[in-house]
Amino acid sequence: MANTYLTRTQESSANSQIFTYSTWVKRSGITGAKQEMVSGGSASTDFDMFYFDASERLSYYSKTSNSENLDLATSRKFRDTSAWYHIVLSVDTTQGTASNRVKLYVNGVLETAYDTSTYPSVNTNLFLNKANQSQIIGRQAYSAVDFFDGSMSHIHFIDGTAYDATAFGSTDATTGEWKINTSPSVTYGTNGFFILKDGNSVTDQSGEGNNFTVGGGTLTKTEDCPSNVFATMNPLETNRTPTLANGNLVIQNNNSAWKNGYSTIATPLTGKYYIECKMISNTGTWYTHFGIQEINDLANNASGYANYGDGANSWSYGNNGQKNNNGSASSYGDTIETGDIVGIAIDCTNSKLYFSNQGVWQNSGDPTSGATGTGAISITANKNYFLGGMIYSGYIGFNFGNGYFGTTAVSSAGTNASNNGIFEYNVPTGYTALSTKGLNL
């Protein structure tokens, strides 16, 4: 949602002392700067903000007439860019005990350890649900700064009731994981709402009719959700890390130096997985590469083998039409032009790798040929591989199944028998997206 925000104005009946905010978020950028999930108010002297602070702590801050109402900052930090967090802010300033006036829950667990814990006075009126005040999702309320960088899903706001996390989720009896309640039984109140339920709709699903407006930026739909987490490029991998954008699915590199992107999810030892990569632009004198990188080669190598195609357990397909492995290049397929989409199909069960260009499998490859491996590149067995690419100068995008390259949706989705993910071209039979659902098929 970076540079994207949603807006509406609370009605005069809003209860500014008792309310609940529940959302699922997946962070993209760990920027060392504030990222606001939701804020309310109209001036730097009168506002609330619920946000990740510059130290990556979950925080809630409020002031009225430039006087501080509350200041909470958790002790633990939230840096995982590969998972969804369920976050609940439950407020009731009428409570006699100060610590009961504001409660924060993450994945169903009440936060109890705080670096800063200034609670509001009894009966304090706050701005997240103050009458006739703006409520902004995705940035600061009174200024176009502190944008949230990531994805949001299932945003509930409750006017007049302080719910705990169990109203919106529950612990799975088998796995012990916190799971989403897609249709909670709650009373929303006059100013309550439920948005981003399915896709990118800002139409209120609560029945209260409190629709939002996209105030700026582009709000894109994502298949990535709390119940099926898709791979992205990993911003925490520091080996030649590029600038990432659009939910960590676009590599931007204007530095005229090799930059690599590695998926947040590695392949298991068996299974068949498919992703798509797009060469958005290539402005450098060197080649763009898409490929796979063995997990330990990346972890154990400070330089060199971290490039796709440089190591013994890394293979790539470059835009010059060559394949690369262990630092050596050889003839392979078509050249990759600007705008072309490259498919990567990795068959971990049979230790085979295939590349397509514009839907055509290179080297007359057949990803469905199993152990025969017609036209395949043979890869090392019993290894875990990251998927991704590298570029010297330009932009490349990745579709792990979300159906987008940056903010551009696939033009006409191909068939996908696994029903997991949306891709431009047909997914080979037996292959699926690199996602948590895909890992469990």
Task: Supply the pTM of this predicted model.
Answer: 0.87
Q: Tell me the sheet residues that pair with 278.
A: 341, 397
Q: pLDDT by residue (tens digit) across 191-219?
A: 999 999 978 899 999 999 999 999 999 88
Q: What is the CATH number of the domain that holds 139?
A: 2.60.120.200
Q: How far apart are CA 39 and CA 25, in angstroms?
A: 15
Q: Could you please report the per-residue DSSP string of 406-439? A: TTEEPSS----TT---B-SSPPPTT-B-SBHHHH
pLDDT at residue 225, as a whole number: 85
104 & 189 share domain: yes
- Percent of the chain with pLDDT strictly greater than 90: 78
Q: What is the DSSP secondary-structure string of 252-276?
A: EE-SSS-EEEEBSS---SS-EEEEE
Which residues, including other chains, have CB under 8 Å from residue 404's CB and lie 6 or more apart? Answer: 220, 221, 222, 246, 249, 410
Q: What is the largest CA-CA distance in the chain?
A: 75
Q: What is the pLDDT of residue 381?
A: 97
Lowest mean pLDDT among 21-30, 182-191, 240-249, 331-340: 240-249
One domain, residues 183 and 296: no
Residue type, 420: N
Which of 377, 364, 338, 354 has the alpha carbon at shortest distance from 427? 354
The verdict on 173 and 38 lying in the same domain is yes
> Do 360 and 284 reside in the same domain of the chain?
yes
Q: Does 248 reside within a domain?
A: yes
pLDDT of residue 283: 82
105 neighbors 111 (Cβ within 8 angstroms) = yes
Reported confidence tier of residue 73, pLDDT bands at 50, 70, 90: very high
377 strand-pairing partners: 353
* CATH number of the domain that residue 356 is part of: 2.60.120.920
Instruction: At 377, give phi and psi (nearest 5°).
Output: -95, 125
Lowest mean pLDDT among 273-277, 288-292, 436-440: 436-440
Residue 242 confidence class, pLDDT cut points 50, 70, 90: confident
For residue 303, name the pLDDT band (cuts at 50, 70, 90): low
User: 206 and 265 share a domain?
Assistant: no
Nearest to 104 by CA among 75, 79, 69, 134: 75
Tokens of 374: 């017609």
pLDDT of residue 221: 83
Give the pLDDT score at 19.
98
Domain match, 286 and 418 both: yes
d(CA 372, CA 381): 15
pLDDT digits (tens, 9 = 90+) for 325-375: 999 999 999 999 999 999 999 999 999 999 999 999 999 999 999 999 999
**Residue at token pair 């606001």:** 36
> End of a domain among 216, 231, 266?
216
Phi, psi (deg, nearest 5) at residue 216 = -175, 160
Rounded Cα distance between 355 and 252, Å, is 23
Instruction: Name which residue leads in pLDDT, 389 or 259.
Output: 389
Residues 136-148: what's their mean pLDDT?
Answer: 95
Quick check: is 226 in a domain? no
Which of 288-302, 329-343, 405-419 bottoms out in mean pLDDT, i.e. has the lowest? Answer: 288-302
pLDDT beyond 80 at 305: no
SS3 99: helix
Is it the case that residue 434 has pLDDT exceeding 80?
Answer: yes
Per-residue pLDDT band for 393 (boundaries 50, 70, 90) equals confident
Residue 35 lies in a domain: yes
Strand partners, 261: 389
pLDDT score for 302: 52
Q: What is the pLDDT of residue 29?
A: 79
Residue 75 lies in a domain: yes
Q: Work out whether strand 352-357 and strand 341-347 pair parallel, antiparallel, or are unpaired.
A: antiparallel
Confidence of residue 301 (pLDDT cuts 50, 70, 90): low
Domain assignment present for residue 421? The answer is yes
**Cα gap 136→192, rounded to integer Å:** 14
Query: Are 120 and 171 members of one domain?
Result: yes
AA identity, residue 386 = F
Give the pLDDT band of residue 441 (cuts 50, 70, 90).
Answer: low
The pLDDT assigned to 235 comes to 85
CB atoms within 10 A of CB 229: 18
Q: What is the pLDDT of residue 408?
A: 84
What is the separation, in whole angstroms, between the first and last Cα of the chain? Answer: 30
Distances (CA, A) of 422 to 179, 219, 223, 268, 382: 23, 18, 8, 21, 28
The single residue listed with the structure tokens 């004198």 is 285
Q: Which of 28, 31, 37, 46 is nearest to 6 (CA)?
A: 37
Number of independent structural domains in the chain: 2
- Mean pLDDT for the chain overall: 93
- Higher pLDDT among residues 441 and 112, named by residue: 112
Please indicate, yes or no, whether residues 208 and 255 belong to a single structural domain of this protein: no
pLDDT score of 297: 78
Q: Which residue has the higher pLDDT, 268 or 13?
A: 268
pLDDT exceeding 70 applies to what percent of the chain? 97
Range of the domain at 423: 243-439
Average pLDDT over residues 15-32: 93
Residue 46: which residues within 8 A CB-CB, separation 6 or more? 63, 64, 65, 66, 127
Q: Which one of 201, 216, 231 terminates a domain?
A: 216
User: Is the same domain home to 267 and 197?
Assistant: no
- For the stretch 260-288, pLDDT in tens is 899 999 999 999 999 999 999 988 767 89
* 261 and 142 in a common domain: no
**pLDDT tens, 78-135?**
999 888 999 999 999 999 999 999 999 999 999 999 999 999 999 999 999 999 999 9
Residues 212 and 278 in one domain: no
3-state secondary structure at position 330: strand
Residues 168 and 256 in one domain: no
Amino acid at 181: N
Strand partners, 388: 262, 291
Pairwise pLDDT comparison (98 vs 239), residue with the higher score: 98
Residue 232 located in a structural domain? no
**Nearest CA to 342 among 413, 425, 223, 258?**
425
Q: Whose structure tokens read 């369920």?
A: 86
In 148-242, beta strands by DSSP E? 150-159, 169-171, 178-180, 193-195, 213-216
Asked, for residue 42, whether it belongs to a domain, the answer is yes
Asked if residue 265 belongs to a domain, the reply is yes
Tell me how crowded residue 203 is: count the other CB atoms within 10 A of its CB: 13
